[in-house]
């Protein structure tokens, strides 16, 4: 996979944006040159290899409220690779739908509410209810450890979604609200959280491919045309969103969990096979891929991703994010794949400072643990080296 700008000829389905491509507004200006030290990508610098499965729902995430027998079920799942990006805004949006629903006339601040799912959407749903004054919250999940929410990268940008155009405006507003939430933490203005978010440049090959243009002028500044100089003879023309937002998923999950426990939210480890297994009237479904069975939702699909944690790195060299898309292709198992290269300054808690950085990125719809496509790790490493101009 030799890196070439001509290779990047696809767009994620949700990017239905009428945007201006790179350079159209700045043809007479000289792009800023930024010196970037390439990351060390030798075998000894590659740590844990991770498979993850993003819960994408074809058509749009399910953010609805319905009456099911004696229960009122609110759904909040199917955000693909954008769960972290949208979670604070999505939780508030769905909770408001429930509270204002005609089915919730007897919902009071001390009415029992059960949230199914212990990932980032489940935790933010509980957090939002607490902020709205509700005080009888239980989170039920089969497991609270090693979830996809811990494994994800941390770039705040909508990726790996399938949004009907009619839903795009709502999704954009949810993303803007979530960005404001994270920004308040990064700027030390949030009343409850003081870390796990920081503002760093986010580099893309063009504005359209970033997914961030709906945020520009509302919560983000315009992207800049820049040239990344890696000091080895390789330079890349890019666009930079200098107010890009990086969220460290593991730290977020730990801090959010502790806050909820301090607020007396109950955590119950239990597998829920059907909604009637929950004895409360009000239920919030945040089960991600589990909703395919729990809610009998045939629109749910796994989007497999490959990530490698980096080690023996200098933290000061990783204070940025980059996302580049390559061509569509097929895996050896015959599954359609959208390949990319992304790198974020992710760091797991309780590990040494030099174990920083996560390298990704594949998007394989329909792949499961039975089709791990492990050969994609090598393809991904090759793409990263080609981008940086690292000789193998």
* Model pLDDT, residue 350: 87
Tally of CA atoms within 13 A in the half-sphere of 65 that contains its CB: 18
CA distance 256 to 248: 12
Below-70 pLDDT ranges, the chain: 1-28
Tell me if 98 sits within 8 A of 283, measured CB to CB.
no
Looking up tokens 């939002």 gives: 128
* Model pLDDT, residue 26: 46
Cβ atoms within 10 Å, residue 127: 24
Helix, strand and coil percent figures for the chain, each rounded to 5 = 30, 30, 45
* Model pLDDT, residue 19: 35
Q: pTM for this one?
A: 0.90
3-state SS track over 43-67? HHHEEEEEEEEEEEECCCCEEEEEE
């Amino acid at each position: 996979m030799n890196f070439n700008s001509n290779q990047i000829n696809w767009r994620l389905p949700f990017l239905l944006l009428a945007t201006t491509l790179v350079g159209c507004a700045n043809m007479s200006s000289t792009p800023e040159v930024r010196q970037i030290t390439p990351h060390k990508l030798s075998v000894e610098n590659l740590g844990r290899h991770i498979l993850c499965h993003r819960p994408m729902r074809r058509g749009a995430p399910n953010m609805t409220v319905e009456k099911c027998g004696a229960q009122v079920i609110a759904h909040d799942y199917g955000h693909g690779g954008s769960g972290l990006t949208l979670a604070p805004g999505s939780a508030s949006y769905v909770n408001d739908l429930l509270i204002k629903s005609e089915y919730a006339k007897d919902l009071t601040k001390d009415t029992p509410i059960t949230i199914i799912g212990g990932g980032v959407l489940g935790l933010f749903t509980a957090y939002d209810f607490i902020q709205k004054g509700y005080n009888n919250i239980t989170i039920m999940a089969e497991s609270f450890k090693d979830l996809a929410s811990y494994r994800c990268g941390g770039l705040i940008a909508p990726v790996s979604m399938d949004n009907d155009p009619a839903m795009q405006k709502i999704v954009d507003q949810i993303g803007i609200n979530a960005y404001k939430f994270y920004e308040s933490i990064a700027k030390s203005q949030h009343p409850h959280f003081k870390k796990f978010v920081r503002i760093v440049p986010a580099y893309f090959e063009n504005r359209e491919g970033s997914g961030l243009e709906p945020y520009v002028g509302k919560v983000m500044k315009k992207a800049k045309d820049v040239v990344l100089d890696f000091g080895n003879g390789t330079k890349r023309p890019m666009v930079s969103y200098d107010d890009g937002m990086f969220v460290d998923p593991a730290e977020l999950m730990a801090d959010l969990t502790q806050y909820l426990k301090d607020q007396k939210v109950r955590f119950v480890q239990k597998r829920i096979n059907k909604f009637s297994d929950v004895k409360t009237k009000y239920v919030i479904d945040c089960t991600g891929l589990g909703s395919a069975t729990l809610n009998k939702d045939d629109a749910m699909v796994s989007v497999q991703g490959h990530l490698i944690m980096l080690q023996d790195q200098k933290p000061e060299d990783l204070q940025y994010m980059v996302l580049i898309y390559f061509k569509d292709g097929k895996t050896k198992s015959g599954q359609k794949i959208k390949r990319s290269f992304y790198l974020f300054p992710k760091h797991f808690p309780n590990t040494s400072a030099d174990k920083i950085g996560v390298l990704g990125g594949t998007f394989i719809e329909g792949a499961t643990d039975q089709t791990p496509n492990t050969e994609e790790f090598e393809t991904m490493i090759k793409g990263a080296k080609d981008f940086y101009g690292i000789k193998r």
